[in-house]
Structure formats: C-alpha cells, structure tokens
C-alpha cells in the first residue's frame, strides 16, 4: 500500500498566478525603491545648493565636497527645478491672469 500525498502538484493556472504574484511584488519593490532614490537625490540636491552658498562658488564647493563639477551642476539643476516648481506663479500670486 503506498502513501499518497495530500497535496497535489499546483495546476498551470496556480503556477501562473504565483509567477505573476512574484513579478508584481518585484515591480512594487522597484517602484518603492525608485521613490526613495528620488527623495534622496532631492535631499542631496538641496545640500549641494547649500554647499555652493556656503563655499561661495561651484568650483570651491566641488573641491570641498570632492564631487566632480558635472555631478555638482546636475544636482544644482535639480534643486533649481524643484525651487521653480514650488514657487508660486507671479500672475497667480498677483491675482491676475
């Protein structure tokens, strides 16, 4: 007399559902991590902009931070874009269109 397993092998549908569940979980993890990276880049951009103010110019900040000028300028651009996005529109602030 042989002992039969009470669990059957998963059906194709079950295997597909499990594969899709894992894929969705990975996509969700990547999305969440990308959001964290964007937040960190924004915080770094703000810090770099502050460093430029503190050190007086981009070259001095680049040297003090040991950051290539291209990277420093990229973060400054991000900080400027964010500042422009958060500033109220002059026309809207004045109440005109």
- Is 49 inside any structural domain? yes
Query: Closest by alpha carbon to 67, among 83, 52, 81, 82?
Result: 52
Number of domains, the chain: 1
37 located within any domain? yes
Q: Does any domain span residue 51?
A: yes
pLDDT band at 8 (very low <50, low <70, confident <90, very high): confident
Cα–Cα distance, 72 to 19 (Å, whole number): 42
> What is the domain extent for residue 18?
12-88
Q: Is residue 3 part of a domain?
A: no
Query: Which pLDDT band, with edges at 50, 70 and 90, does 83 fall under?
Result: confident
Residue 56 located in a structural domain: yes
pLDDT tens for 57-67 read 999 999 999 99
């Amino acid at each position: 007399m042989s002992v039969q397993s009470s669990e059957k092998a998963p059906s194709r549908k079950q295997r597909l559902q499990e594969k899709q569940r894992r894929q969705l979980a990975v996509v969700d993890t990547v999305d969440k991590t990308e959001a964290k990276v964007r937040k960190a880049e924004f915080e770094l951009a703000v810090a770099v902009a502050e460093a430029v103010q503190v050190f007086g110019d981009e070259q001095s900040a680049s040297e003090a931070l040991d950051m290539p000028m291209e990277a420093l300028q990229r973060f400054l651009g991000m900080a400027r874009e964010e500042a422009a996005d958060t500033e109220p529109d002059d026309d809207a602030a004045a109440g005109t269109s």
